[in-house]
Amino acid sequence: MGELTHLDAEGHPVMVDVSGKPETEREAVAEGWVHLPESVYDAILENRIRKGDVLKIAELAGIQGAKRTASLIPLCHGIRLDQASVRCHLVPDRKAIRVECHVKAREVTGVEMEALTGVSVAALTVYDMCKALDKGIEIRNIRLLMKKGGKSGEYKVSEGV
């Protein structure tokens, strides 16, 4: 395991100095699950949510979240994303939505936080749009599935949820 780089010698938080690092291709994919009461799942499936198309709006919100990560997470660097996509898929046997965010950039630091934030914001948007029907919606298992690029190399999760 690597050392924590967001603390200085006295233990104060700092944003890591990446000024000497070269730009490389960076890529990350994250996922999360939104588990729904059956009535909410059916309302989304039948497009009966008054606020609009839950899946499409959540996808747009997730992209916006990925783009705004540095504004939300204090020590994250601002990243120029070259690509960001969010997909929300209904999973009938789980009465859930699987959210996946895929991001790419040519940067000096990784894009894992952008992928994770994209998933988180999309999942929160589903909750926001559906909470009037039932507050028993659960957001679970947000995790990094894959990352490429940079000094730490490639990471790929080894098992499913």
pLDDT of residue 3: 64
Residue ranges and CATH numbers for the domains of the chain are 24-149 (3.30.70.640)
pLDDT score of 84:
99
Residue 97's pLDDT is: 99
Encode pLDDT of 102-145 as tens digits: 999 999 999 999 999 999 999 999 999 999 999 999 999 999 99
Average pLDDT score, the chain: 94
Give the C-alpha separation, 123 to 57, whole Å: 11
State pTM to two decimals. Answer: 0.92
Which of 8, 53, 82, 128 does the annotation list as catalytic?
128
The yes-or-no answer on residue 134 being catalytic is no
Average pLDDT over residues 47-62: 97
**Per-residue model confidence (pLDDT) at position 159:** 76
Please report the beta strands in 9-137, taking only residues with DSSP state E, as ranges in sequence order.
24-35, 83-91, 96-107
